[in-house]
Amino acid sequence: MTEKVKLTGRCMCGAVEISGVADGPKAGACHCDMCRRWSSGPYFEVTCSDVVFQGEDSITRFRSSDWAERGFCATCGSNLFYHIVDSDEYQIAAGLLDQQSDLCLTLQVFTDSKPPFYTLADKTETMTGAEVFAAFAPPQD
């Protein structure tokens, strides 16, 4: 059984504070076109449940697809999360977390979209875009 870890973090200006629970100190990286445009590189995240936001009025939510939204701080612009709308999980931006030294990169997604100018050396599970959609996309009506 994976250890549950309580995580806390905040945006650059401190207007938004986040707390949540993760399955261990596992981080993921998304190489999709949208995440790279949003974060200027892979989006490093930690998947959390039981997420609580302080400063909700400073969060701007952008619906980036039919099923997902991205959040950022309206004051400083920090990327906060990726969230599948009908889910209680949030992929919190790893750089926001107060404690990052225990994080371990365990998953890379949309590896078939990764541009050739960078390579992550960590040995991780990998998934192509098709594999991600097959595993996680909500069923279409």
User: Taking the CB of residue 63, how many other CB atoms lie within 10 A of it?
Assistant: 10
* 135 part of a folded domain: no
Q: Which two tokens stand for residue 28?
A: 């993921």
Total domain count for the chain?
A: 1
Residue 81 located in a structural domain: yes
56: left (phi over 0), alpha (psi -120 to 50) or beta: alpha
pLDDT score for 138: 67
Tell me the pTM: 0.91
At 54-65, the pLDDT tens digits run 999 999 999 999
* Domain span at 42: 4-128
Rounded Cα gap, residues 53 and 78, in angstroms: 14
What totals of helices (H) and strands (E) does the chain contain, helices first?
2, 10
Is residue 61 in a domain?
Answer: yes
